[in-house]
Amino acid sequence: MKLYFILSAFVFIAALTNPEYSYSEFSGIYADTTLKCPVTGDEISGEHVSFRYIDKEIKFCNDGCAMAYKKDPAKYSEHVKCMPCNEDDANHKINTTHNGVKYYFCGNGCKGKFDKDPEAYIQQYSK
Ligand SMILES: [Zn+2]
Ligand SMILES: [Zn+2]
């Protein structure tokens, strides 16, 4: 009986500390907001850093947060755009990194189009 209690307490703690669990909680609260830093969840006020990712201007507390975002934007926004087809349904597993920024695509066809001329797509969405 005592062993059962210890085991169930362990499972409970494991559920609380499971990083995947806390990750989904986090993205649910802070997804696609521009008022809070998407990385830390802190409110942005006064001095900040901003970075345009595809067609969205995103504000961060500082360069450190912007760097973290560039490396893995899908970690902080649930929906990321596939630039060649202009749909917010990119597959997080199909990606490429250009100038230190990660971009996502709906499929390998779109990834191939982007890889041929990344700047053309970035320019298209920077207007
Ligand atoms: Zn931040
Ligand atoms: Zn696509």
In whole angstroms, how far apart are CA 69 and each of 2, 4, 58, 88? 46, 43, 10, 17
Q: Enumerate the β-bridge partners of residue 57.
A: 52
Whether 71 shows a pLDDT value over 50: the answer reads yes
Closest ligand to C-alpha of residue 83 is 2
Distance of alpha carbon 123 from alpha carbon 102, whole angstroms: 16
Give, as residue ranges, everything with CB less than 5 Å from ion ligand 1: 37, 39-40, 60-61, 65
pTM of the model: 0.71
Q: What's the pLDDT at 23?
A: 44
Q: For the chain, give every domain's residue range.
A: 1-30, 31-125
Q: What is the DSSP letter of 44?
A: P
> Cα-flanking dihedrals φ and ψ of residue 56, to 5°?
-120, 135
Q: Report CA(59)–ligand 1 centroid distance (Å).
A: 8
Please tell me the distance between residue 85's alpha carbon and the centre of ligand 2 in angstroms.
Answer: 4
Per-residue pLDDT tens over the stretch 79-121? 999 999 999 999 999 999 999 999 999 999 999 999 999 999 9
pLDDT in tens, 3-59: 555 555 555 545 555 444 444 444 444 444 448 999 999 999 888 999 999 999 999
